[in-house]
Structure 1
Amino acid sequence: MEKMRNLLAGCLRESANGYVVDTLIENYPNIGELMNATEKEISSIKGIGIVKAKQLKSILEFVRKVNTPDASKRIIIRSPKDVYELVRADMEFLEVEHFDVIGLSTKNHVIFKENISIGSLNASIVHPREAFKGLIRRSCAACILVHNHPSSDTSPSNEDILLTKKLVECGSIIGIEVLDHVIVGAAGGGYVSLKEQCKM
């Protein structure tokens, strides 16, 4: 929280313990909620005009991009942590569930990453056809499933486990191995690997 206060104070040239920063934190208690706020919502706070709101949004977007892995570098997935580092900047601050697929080569180089489903606050609907369409088109040897929990609770639900097993079975039939399913929590919530938990 102290880091967030200092970031906001520096961006807005306000006191870290002043009214403006206090009100921002009261309305947006974590950086994810603030990133998802619109310029209009931010500028409605007394002491923040549209100019400061634009500046703050620009800085937050810059922070997000800096924390996103460089797509030009060839990324190799060796562990669930590698998956987490690849997707965390995009997924930690989402307000609803997103389900992504990461396509891999025979040596686990990342070929592509794409979103295949956007759901509600606590669920996303995934069809095997959509999950494997891009993988087949790009001739991937394997894949990793990733989705976020907008809360900080990364525990897999029964639906998460059943879906994973269904996709593992489908992948086995078409020759694309599903290596893992990683669940990412909200900012600071970390991640869980269903493979490590033996729930695949």
Structure 2
Amino acid sequence: MKKWLLPLLITAIIGYILYSWAVGGFYNTAVEYQENAKTTWSKVESSYQRRNDLIGNLVKTVQGAADFEKSTLTDVINARAKATSVNINAGDLTPEKMAQFQQAQQGLTGALSKLLVSVERYPDIKANKNFLELQSQLEGTENRINVARDRFNESTNIYNKHIKKFPGSFLAGIFGFDEMNRYKSDAGSENAPNVDFKF
């Protein structure tokens, strides 16, 4: 073997090892983590969709009470329509879009809370088997939403750490991997709610 070929061969081998590491070690792992985060976001949306479906059935059950407050039902129906109209592509989770999504969901949560408080004044509705079952399912769904949001943040954290650690931070720019946004709590949620039992 000629002496001038040896440095060329060593350079080619080192180049191949670096390329294999960059593509196999960093790129493929980044894709896997990013797709996992997108999937967990889909589960967040799925949990919210389940809640919206249950709220629709709850509203129909409550509408059966002829003397129930129409303005309260209208608020829930409008908030539900707004919440279902705000969708985010999992590949485009910008802070602005997530805030818009969260604001729509927060509006629905507020309207639903008002509805459930209003129901307290209607013993027939409170005793309705369908209403009680839907209310129980809604409580379970709220827990699912919380778990789904936590899992989304965990998978986003894994992805973000992968692309931010050196040398991943250098390769992320080359391969076009951007930081993903986490789901943040509603503004003011760190404060205890003001509960008023006056009717």
Tell me if both proteins adopt one fold, taking TM over 0.5 as the criterion: no
Q: What TM-score does the superposition give when structure 2 sets the normalisation length? A: 0.29
Q: What TM-score does the superposition give when structure 1 sets the normalisation length? A: 0.29
Larger Rg belongs to: 2
Bigger helix share? 2
